[in-house]
Chain A
Amino acid sequence: MEQEVLTAEKKNVDPNTSSTLSKAQIAEMEKVQSLTKIIYSQFREHKAAVVGAYTILFFILVAVFAPVIGNVLGVDSESQNVFARYKPPFSRISVAMDVREEMVKKYMANNPDEADVVAKELIKEDFVTTKQPADALYEWSHYEKRKAMAAIRLLNIDADTKVELRNLAKRFETFHIFGTDELGRDAFMRLIYGTRISMGVAVLVAIASSLIGLLIGALAGYYGGVIDSLLMRVTDALISLPTIPVLIVVAAIDLQKIPGVSSILSVGNESILKLVFILCIFSWMTVARLVRGSILTLREREFILASKTLGATDYTIITRHMFPNVLAPLLVSVTLGVGDSILFEAALSFLGLGIQPPTPSWGNMLFNAQELIYEAPTLAIIPGLLILFVTISFNYVGDGLQDAIDPKTIKR
C-alpha cells in the first residue's frame, strides 16, 4: 500500500505530463489502485450484493446485540409461560404468578429496607388484603400490570423506589411481536438468539470446509498421478457415503468422553460443536472437486507451463497463479456453503440430530413448528423466511464478490 502511494506521488510530480489535462485529472487517471480498492469499487456496482451485505451486517448486529435487544424489549428468550402457548403475533400476555413472585423475592432480598417500607405502605393504603408485611408485596405482584402501577403511584415512598417498582411491574405483562411458541416463550427473541446459532454455525462450517477443500483440491489437481488418485478417491468415497447413517453414528459419539475435550465443552454447547464438526466433514468435497477441476484445466495452460520453465516453485505456482484463478468458483462455493449449512442444520433437526433444545436455532424452530403448521403458521413461516433472506444475501454477496474479483470482468 505504502509503496503504491509513493509511486502515485512520484507520478504526480512528473513534469512530462501533457498540459491539456488538469493535475487532478491526471492524478485520478494514473493513480495505481490497490487490488482491494478495485474489488471494493467493483463490488459497489452490484446493487443486489450491496443490499445483501447490509442484510448480513444487520443480522450480525442482531446476533451480537441479542441480549441488549432482549433488555430493551423486556423479554428474554428462555422464560416460558406454559399458560400462554401458541399465542398469535402481537399478543399481550400476563406473566405467570410464580415468575412474578420470584421477581419480588429477588427484589426483597436485594432491598430489604425499601421492601419493608413499601409493604407497610401497601397495607396502610389498603391496596392489599393481607396484614402481614411479608406477604404484602407478593399479593401486590398478583395484580395486573396497570393496577400494580397505579398502586405504586399512590404510595408515599421515595422516587427511586417508585421507579424500581414500576420497572418490576412493567414485567408483569409481556408483549410478543411474533407470538409465543410451544412453551410460551417469545418467538421473536428466540429467532434473534437463533440467528446467533444458525449464522455462527453456518459461517464457521463454510469457512472451515472450504479451506479443507481448497487444500485437498489444489494438491490433487496440481500434482495429479498417485496423489490425485488417492485424494480424489477419498473425496469420492466421502461424497458418496450416504450421509444420514454416518450422521446417526457420529451423533451417538459422546464427545464428553474424549479426554481434553470435556474441558471446553459444557452440556449447552456440545450439540453445536458436534454439528459444526459433522457438517465440516461432509461439506468440503464439493469445493475440493471444483478446485481440482479448475486446476486440472489450468495445469495445461500456457502461462503455467511458462512459469514452470522459468523455474517457479510449486508453492509459488499454486498460490500465485492458480489460487487467483480458482478464487471465483471457491467464493461461490463458500457463499453457497453458508446457505447449505443453514439448510443442512434444518434438515438434521428434522431427524432429531441437529441443535438440541432449549438452544434455539432457525432449524429446530422450523422443525418444532411444522407439527402445528396449520395452527401457528407464523412459527413455521418466519424461520423459513429468515433462512431464505440470509441465504439469499450470502449468495448475492458471493455473486458480487465473484464479479469483483474475477479479473476478466474488471472494467477499465
Chain B
Amino acid sequence: MINFILRRIVQTMIVIVILSYVCFGLMSLMPGDPVELMISANPKITAADVARLRSFYGLDQPVYKRYFNWVSDIATGDLGYSRTYRIPVEEMMGPALGYTFILSITTLLFSFAVAVPLGIISALRPNSRIDYTINLFNFAGISMPSFWLGLVLIIIFAVKLKWLPASGFQTTGMEYDTYWDEFVDKGKYLILPVLSLSIQSIGRFSRFTRSSMLEAMRNDFIRTARAKGLARNVVVWKHGFRNALIPLITIAALSLSSVFSGALITETLFAYPGAGRLIYSSIMGNDYNVAMVSFLISVSMVLIMNLMADLLYGVVDPRVSYK
C-alpha cells in the first residue's frame, strides 16, 4: 500500500514536470506577446521600442532556455513577478486563491448538502412522484448554462427584488468591526455566484447519488442484511450509502479540477476576484509567471485529488486491489 502511494506520488511529480513544460511551450506558441499587446494600443511605439522591449522580457530567447530559467527560479523558491502588476506572484495568487477556494468549497459543500439527500430520497423511493420531481430538477440543473442562470439571478435578485448585490465580493469601502460583520457582508456577495455555480453540480451529484445508491441497494448483501433483520437506517447508511460513495468520490475529486477554469465565467460575471479570473486575464495579458504558477497549482491540485480518489477507492471497496 505504502509502496503504491509512493509510486503514485513519484508518477504524479513526473507528470507535473512534463505538463509544465508542455504548457510553457503552448503559451509561448500563442500568437502575440506582451509587446504586441502594447503596440496595438499605441501607434506611437516605434520598431526600435519593440525590439528593445522584446529583449527586455527575454522574448528573443528560445523556449527551452526561457523554461530552464523559469524552472531554476522556481526551484529556488522564487515564483517571479507579475509582468502587469510588477508585484511578486505569490502576493497576487494568495488572495485570489483564497477567494476561489471559498467560492468552490462553499459551492461543493452546498451542492453536496443539497444533492446527497435528494439523491438518496429518490433512490429509496424509485419511480415515485417525488423521484420524478427530483429527477426533473436534477436534469434542469445539469442542462442549465451557468452564466445564463447567473444573469437571470442577477436580474431577479439584484435588479428587480434588490435583495442581493449584483457583483463583487464585499461592500466597497466597508470597515469591519467584528469577524461576524465581515462574514455576513462577504456571505451576501457569495450567494448568487454559489447558486449559479452549484445548480449544475447539484444535479450531477444528486443523479450520481441516486444511481449509485440504487446500484448499491440492489446488491445481494443488502438483501442479506435486510433478511438478517437489520434496522432500515443501518441498511441504508452502513451498507447502501457506503457502497454508493465510490462514484461520488470520483465525481467530487474530479469536480475540484474545475476550480480554476470552471469558476472562470462565473467569476467574470459576478466580478469576483478569484483565481479563475486571474488565470484568464493573465493569459490574455500574457503575464507568464502568473499564468504558469496558477497552472501549476491547478494541475497539482487535480492530480492530488485524483490520487486521493484512487486511494479511497481501495478503502471503500476492498475488492479493488493495488498491485
> Within the complex, are A and B direct neighbours (CB within 8 Å)?
yes
- Write the residues of chain A forming the contact surface with B, with a CB cutoff of 8 angstroms: 48, 224-225, 229, 233, 236-237, 239-246, 248-249, 252, 286, 289-290, 293, 296-297, 300-301, 332, 336, 339, 343, 346-347, 350, 366, 370, 373-374, 377, 380-381, 384, 387-388, 390-392, 395-396, 399, 402, 408
Binds A, one of B27-35, B81-89, B103-111, B224-232: B27-35
A397 to chain B, nearest CB (A): 11
B170 within 8 A of partner (CB): no
- Least CB separation from B26: chain A residue: A249
Q: Which residues of B contact A343 (CB under 8 A)?
A: 143, 145-146
A204 to chain B, nearest CB (A): 19
Total chain B interface residues with beta-carbon distance under 8 A: 56
Q: Which residues of A contact B135 (CB under 8 A)?
A: 48, 399
Partner of A350, one of B147, B279, B306: B147
The verdict on A245 contacting B26 (CB below 8 Å), with A236-B302, A236-B303, A374-B155 known, is yes
The answer to whether B151 and A233 touch across the interface, beta carbons within 8 angstroms, is no
A281 to chain B, nearest CB (A): 13
Instruction: Kindly list the 4 A-B residue pairs having the minimum CB-CB distance in the complex, ordered from nearest.
Output: A391-B143, A240-B302, A384-B148, A392-B139
> Once bound together, how far apart are the Cα atoms of A224 and B145, in whole Å?
37
Instruction: Give the A-B pair count, Cβ closer than 8 A.
Output: 134
A235 to chain B, nearest CB (A): 9
Partner of B142, one of A289, A374, A377, A391: A391
> Once bound together, how far apart are the Cα atoms of A33 and B317, in whole Å?
36
B27 to chain A, nearest CB (A): 7
- Write the residues of chain B forming the contact surface with A, with a CB cutoff of 8 angstroms: 11, 15, 18-19, 23, 26-27, 29-31, 132, 135-136, 139-140, 142-148, 151-152, 155, 159, 204, 211, 218, 246-247, 250, 254, 257, 260-261, 264-265, 279-280, 283-284, 291, 294-295, 298-299, 302-303, 306, 313, 317, 319-321, 323
Partner of B145, one of A229, A241, A384: A384
The verdict on A346 contacting B142 (CB below 8 Å), with A240-B303, A289-B254 known, is no
B24 to chain A, nearest CB (A): 11
- Least CB separation from B301: chain A residue: A240
The answer to whether B211 and A332 touch across the interface, beta carbons within 8 angstroms, is yes
- Least CB separation from A233: chain B residue: B15
Partner of B279, one of A225, A236, A244, A346: A244
The answer to whether A346 and B27 touch across the interface, beta carbons within 8 angstroms, is no
The answer to whether A388 and B144 touch across the interface, beta carbons within 8 angstroms, is yes
The answer to whether A366 and B145 touch across the interface, beta carbons within 8 angstroms, is yes
> Once bound together, how far apart are the Cα atoms of A40 and B247, in whole Å?
28
The answer to whether A242 and B320 touch across the interface, beta carbons within 8 angstroms, is no
The answer to whether B29 and A300 touch across the interface, beta carbons within 8 angstroms, is no
The answer to whether A243 and B265 touch across the interface, beta carbons within 8 angstroms, is no
- Least CB separation from A377: chain B residue: B155
Partner of B319, one of A48, A300, A388: A300
- Least CB separation from B299: chain A residue: A240
Question: A240-B303, A244-B283 known; 13 other A-B pairs, CB under 8 Å?
Answer: A229-B11, A239-B254, A242-B299, A244-B279, A249-B26, A290-B247, A297-B319, A300-B319, A339-B143, A350-B265, A377-B155, A388-B144, A392-B139
The answer to whether A237 and B295 touch across the interface, beta carbons within 8 angstroms, is no
- Least CB separation from A332: chain B residue: B211
Q: Which residues of A contact B151 (CB under 8 A)?
A: 370, 373, 380
B285 to chain A, nearest CB (A): 12
> Once bound together, how far apart are the Cα atoms of A48 and B302, in whole Å?
36
Q: Which residues of A contact B261 (CB under 8 A)?
A: 242-244
B250 to chain A, nearest CB (A): 6
> Once bound together, how far apart are the Cα atoms of A300 and B314, in whole Å?
13
- Least CB separation from A381: chain B residue: B152
Would you mind naming 10 contact pairs between A and B with Cβ atoms under 8 Å apart? A225-B323, A241-B23, A244-B279, A245-B27, A252-B31, A296-B313, A370-B148, A384-B152, A391-B139, A392-B143
B4 to chain A, nearest CB (A): 11
The answer to whether A300 and B298 touch across the interface, beta carbons within 8 angstroms, is no
The verdict on A408 contacting B218 (CB below 8 Å), with A240-B302, A366-B145 known, is yes
Q: Which residues of B contact A396 (CB under 8 A)?
A: 139
